[in-house]
Amino acid sequence: MAQGSAWLAPARFAKPDAASDEGGLWAMMDREEARLRRSPFMLRDAPLRDYIQDIACKLAGEHCADVRVYPVRTPFFNASMAPNGMMQIWSGLLLRVDNEAQLAAVIGHEIGHYMQRHTLEKLRDVKARSAFGMFMGMFGVVGLVGQLAMLSGAFGFSRDQEREADGIGLDLMRKAGYDTREAAKVWENLRAEAAAAHDPSRSSPMFATHPASEERSATLARLAAADGGGFVGFTELSSRLAGLQQLMLEDELRRGQHGETLVLLDRLIARSPQRSDLLYFRGETRRQRAAGDDGDRALQDFEQALQLGQEPAQLHRALGYLYQGRAKPEQAREAFARYVELAPEAADLALIKSFL
């Protein structure tokens, strides 16, 4: 979509004839969607899925009936949409958007690709090459995490297609009543994480296909500058994710990308400084990284979380390991004992008891 040009949403797409080239691609996507529905990676939280689906419908208009959104448990910032209407939203993305408007910006961007049939063009292009089977894997989740960063670099949309999807996404946000100024903040936050990563393309597939560039966030900010505001929805998103955020943070910690994780946690803590669970995760990230003064700063986070109260049981286990490493056996035993008391069904209970 050229800057300044009027854009009209296309009419709903009819399902193509099964015997046509497009029909064959559509059928492949239908099979991938069936696999996704059976996948153990699916986040089977009906209220969350209904909430995200409702956002997609606000943006998609008459295409709502053809869009099906699936939240997927994968700790990277990414979303994708297939030409048959299947959309994936990964848990790493849900963890990183600050409010509903930012989530709508990403969903609107993907709907922009769908409405302009960019994914269909890409599928046709790749099918003509030898790597079609690998490209199909980008829409499923089996074996996905290990290969996606490499694949997305090879099969990403063009910069012009990304700019067009950005513009359409802002237009859809505006019509749905969202604050379009939040769109640029998504990329600003990702840029901050990328600055802490040794190789951003390996840590998040989105950096390969959706470059988190200064130019991009600046363009989005400029296009939204004339808008007077709109719905943001911080509380709405937070309440929907409240029961899942600890699981998402545990997955984030297991990624082992400590620099990025600390940037994310600093932002979350600045927004919610009274949450002891966030302080635990930041302290545990520092403890695991163990560089420079990380040990001291981890201890500060743990102590602050204890002062706030309602800390997760895992904090006491982490504190025990920290004291072990500092040759403070009495403090370590006390922390491990508290963990055993608070988490009597923990999977690592036998190991922790051996320290006692």
Q: How far apart are CA 175 and CA 169, in angstroms?
A: 10
Question: Lowest mean pLDDT: which of 75-79, 99-103, 247-251, 307-311?
Answer: 75-79
Same domain? For 177 and 248 the reply is no
SS (H, E, C) 148-205: HHHHHHHHCCCHHHHHHHHHHHHHHHHHHCECCCHHHHHHHHHHHHHHCCCCHHHHCC
Report residue 220 as tokens.
């989005």
Same domain? For 112 and 203 the reply is yes
| Pairing of the two strands 86-90 and 68-72 | parallel
Query: What CATH code is carried by the domain that includes residue 327?
Result: 1.25.40.10
Same domain? For 185 and 271 the reply is no
Same domain? For 205 and 293 the reply is no
Per-residue model confidence (pLDDT) at position 147: 41
* Among the listed residues 81, 56, 51, the one whose alpha carbon sits nearest the alpha carbon of residue 176: 56
Alpha helices (runs of H) in 272-348, residue ranges in sequence order? 276-289, 294-308, 314-325, 329-342
Residues forming beta bridges with residue 87, ordered by sequence position: 69, 81
SS3 175: helix
Mean pLDDT of 83-109: 95
Same domain? For 254 and 119 the reply is no
Q: Which domain, by its residues, includes 306?
A: 244-354
Indicate whether 89 pLDDT > 70: yes
Whether the CB-CB separation of 279 and 266 falls below 8 Å is answered with no
Q: How confident is the model at residue 10 (pLDDT cuts 50, 70, 90)?
A: very high
Whether the CB-CB separation of 203 and 197 falls below 8 Å is answered with yes
C-alpha R_g of the chain: 22
Among the candidates 224, 254, 287, a domain finishes at: 224
Indicate whether 189 pLDDT > 70: yes
Give the number of domains in the chain: 2
From residue 139, how far is each of 135, 240, 341 by CA, in Å? 8, 25, 43
From residue 278, how far is each of 237, 269, 301, 306 by CA, in Å? 17, 6, 9, 12
Write down the pTM of the prediction: 0.88
